[in-house]
Amino acid sequence: MTRPLVAGLISGIVLGDVKTGVLIGIAVQGPFIALITPGGAVPSDLSFASYLAIPLAMVGGATPALAVSLAVALGAIGVAAWQLLSVGNAAWAHVGDRFADEGDLNGIIRINYLAQFPTFVLRFILPFIVLLAGATFAQDFVKFLSNQVPWLVQYLTILGGALPAVGIAILLLQIAPSASLLVWFLIGWVVVVYSNGHIPIVGAAVIGALLAVLYYMYFSRADTQTPAGAVQGG
């Protein structure tokens, strides 16, 4: 639910402009397409990047590329806020330990409910206030940037257009760690690009599935073949 593509659809439905929401969501999805959160290592907060940046960009009339830069900035702010919240939540655990030592079952139950309140503030109340009060501000801010500092808008637009490439590169490092697997990706890219968009997504998926079957058949056959020298030596 926190992925920008999903957030763009939901924001588009709420704001009555699904097309713009999805387009901005697709653009914002690029830098975060390979984002994973192992343990407490959170490089960017997707909730802030998705559900704050996308609606603000929509009501402010920002371009998708400008929305990407806004999402990256808000994602970094969200990480800092989440880390502070995590540090503060440690206090609730100590209070719960004290109730456990005293044998106060009601106190333990009560502290488990109270401990959710800071997260509720960070994830709901704060974004609600920002979106409620920031709609007009976002519109005025985008107009101010476009009129007073157009070079900054151009810079952020270029940066926002380049950031999805970084996300895709990180994704490639995860799904194609070896050069042999990268070749298959390049084959798909060449087929789609040089067909000038005439091959639909379903057609490209079918071609990829067939290539995957051929790849599996070839290497599974190579694994099952026993070298003649190995048989004679045994």
| Tens of pLDDT, residues 111-170 | 999 989 998 998 888 888 888 877 676 667 667 766 777 777 677 667 666 666 676 777
Instruction: Give every CB contact of residue 174 below 8 A, 6+ residues apart in sequence.
Output: 34
pLDDT of 176 reads: 66
87's tokens: 């540090």
Quote the CA–CA distance of 58 and 223 in Å, as a whole number: 54
222: pLDDT strictly greater than 70: no
Percent of the chain with pLDDT over 90: 5
**pLDDT tier, 10 (very low <50, low <70, confident <90, very high otherwise):** very high
* Closest C-alpha to 159, from 4, 7, 30, 56: 30
Stretch among 14-23, 155-164, 225-234 having the lowest mean pLDDT: 225-234
CA–CA separation, 234 and 226 (whole Å): 12
Residue 1: what residue type? M
Q: Is the pLDDT of residue 29 over 60?
A: yes
What pLDDT does residue 195 have?
Answer: 78
Q: Give the pLDDT score at 117.
A: 92
Phi/psi for 12 (5° steps) reads: -65, -40
- C-beta atoms surrounding 114 within 10 Å: 12
Whether residue 101 has pLDDT greater than 70: yes
Considering only the C-alpha atoms of the chain, give the largest distance between any 2 of them, rounded to a whole number of Å: 81
**Could you give the angle at the alpha carbon of 160 between the alpha carbons of 64 and 164, nearest 5°?**
95
**Mean pLDDT within 78-84:** 84
pLDDT at 3: 85
The pLDDT mean for the chain works out to 79
Residue 106 has pLDDT above 60, yes or no: yes
Task: Out of 10-19, 156-165, 214-223, give the one with best mean pLDDT.
Answer: 10-19
Count of other CB atoms within 10 angstroms of residue 147: 9
Q: Does 13 have pLDDT greater than 90?
A: yes
Please answer whether residues 26 and 5 qualify as being in contact, where contact means their C-beta atoms are separated by less than 8 angstroms.
yes
Give yes or no for a contact between 71 and 164, defined as CB atoms under 8 angstroms apart.
no
Instruction: Let me know: does 81 contact 45? Beta carbons within 8 Å.
Output: yes
- Segment 8-26 mean pLDDT: 90
8 Å CB contact between 44 and 18: no
Going 151 to 154 to 158 to 159, the CA torsion angle's sign is positive
Q: Is the pTM of this model over 0.95?
A: no
CA–CA gap between residue 68 and residue 143 (Å, rounded)? 17
Q: What pLDDT score does 219 carry?
A: 74
pLDDT of 86? 84
Strands (E), 140-189: none
Say if residue 104's pLDDT is above 70: yes
Question: 3-state DSSP call for residue 115?
Answer: coil
- Spatial separation of the C-alpha atoms in residues 46 and 112, rounded to whole Å: 25
Q: Write down the pLDDT at residue 4.
A: 85
**Is the separation of the CB atoms in 54 and 28 below 8 Å?**
yes
